[in-house]
Amino acid sequence: MSREQLYVKLNEVFREVFDDQSIIVSDMTTANDIERWDSLMHINLLFAIENAFEIRFDIEEGLILQNVGEMADIILRKCNDN
Give the CATH number, domain containing residue 25.
1.10.1200.10
Would you state the pLDDT for residue 63?
85
Per-position b or e across 45-71, b if 16+ CB within 10 A of its CB: bbebbbeebebebeeebbeebebbbeb
| Domains: count for the chain | 1
pTM above 0.85, yes or no: yes
- CB hemisphere CA count around 12 (13 angstroms): 9
Please list the pLDDT of the chain residue by residue as tens digits (82 residues): 899 999 999 999 999 999 999 999 999 999 999 999 999 999 999 999 999 999 999 988 888 899 999 999 999 999 988 6
Domain carrying residue 71: 3-81
Sign (positive or negative) of CA dihedral 16, 17, 22, 27: negative
Describe the chain by its helix, strand, coil percentages, rounded to 5. Answer: 65, 0, 35
pLDDT of residue 82: 65
